[in-house]
Amino acid sequence: MDILLDLVQWPAMLATVVASWWVASTQRRKRVVGFWAFLVSNALWVAWGWHTQAVALVVLQFCLAAMNIRGFVKASGEGRGNGAARAGSRRLTREPPA
């Protein structure tokens, strides 16, 4: 069983690279697949990190998963209720006061 858990790092790495490629797509469907691939990679990294007692890696994966979920919700429109994100982006493009 230890040998199998040692090998989990390779599919985790592959899932991370593939997910990174997909979330950068201009096609929404590929970005959604990339989101789920990132969650799979997070789970694989947690399994490997737990096995190797890499606590910082496990914590990092939970943080990255939370940020991915937050981004997915915001990009899906559910997090846009108050318009704060849009207002903030407009502020960055305004000319400075004279």
pTM, 2 dp:
0.75
The region of weakest confidence among 21-25, 28-32, 76-80 is 76-80
pLDDT tens by residue, 38-96: 999 999 999 999 999 999 999 999 999 999 999 999 988 865 555 545 555 555 556 66
Write a three-state SS string for the chain.
CHHHHHHCHHHHHHHHHHHHHHHCCCCHHHHHHHHHHHHHHHHHHHHHHHHCCCHHHHHHHHHHHHHHHHHHHHHCCCCCCCCHHHHHHHHHHCCCCC
- What integer pLDDT is reported at residue 96 of this predicted model? 65
